């Protein structure tokens, strides 16, 4: 069992930066693939970034590659998401997710993740 709590969202201007954090509870945190997804009003939840259990392999949606950075701290049970050069289209609710036995080829599929946080709102003004 893993519980996830996101923080760090807010209002930022176009071109600004935010750092989201996801705090996890549970002794098996280090065994899960972790990811960030986001959902804009009226749209489906979409993949943002993922990191494997080792923390070595990271993956990004094309729309955020080069601007966002995902990491993990297994000792502290934390999953930060650094977001730079933010754009208005990055606006949405950002969710942290953890999944056990998520195939790499399906790392961007929300249904493959077992645990979700409550989300944190990110708003980028133009």
What is the pLDDT at residue 7?
Answer: 97
- Looking at the DSSP assignment, which residues form a beta bridge with residue 84? none
Report the sign of the C-alpha dihedral through residues 15, 62, 53, 100, in that order: positive
- Range 24-38 average pLDDT: 90
Q: Report the 10 Å Cβ neighbour count for 119.
A: 18
Share above pLDDT 70 across residues of the chain, in percent, rounded to a whole number: 100
What is the pLDDT at residue 43?
Answer: 97
- Range 7-22 average pLDDT: 98
- pLDDT per position as a tens digit, 53-70: 999 999 999 999 999 999
- pLDDT per position as a tens digit, 85-99: 999 999 999 999 999
Q: How far apart are the first and last CA of the chain?
A: 40
Task: Report how far residue 37's alpha carbon sits from residue 89's, in angstroms, rounded to the nearest whole number.
Answer: 14
Length of the chain: 126
């Amino acid at each position: 069992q893993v519980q996830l709590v996101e923080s760090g969202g807010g209002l930022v201007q176009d071109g600004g930066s935010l750092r989201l954090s996801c705090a996890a509870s549970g002794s098996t945190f280090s065994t899960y693939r972790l990811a960030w997804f986001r959902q804009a009003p009226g749209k489906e939840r979409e993949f943002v970034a993922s990191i494997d259990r080792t923390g070595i392999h990271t993956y990004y949606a094309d729309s955020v590659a080069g601007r966002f950075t995902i990491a993990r701290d297994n000792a502290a049970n934390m999953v930060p998401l650094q977001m730079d050069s933010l754009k208005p289209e990055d606006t949405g609710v950002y969710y942290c997710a953890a999944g056990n036995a998520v195939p790499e080829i399906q790392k961007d599929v929300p249904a493959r993740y077992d645990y979700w946080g409550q989300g944190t709102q990110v708003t980028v003004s133009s």
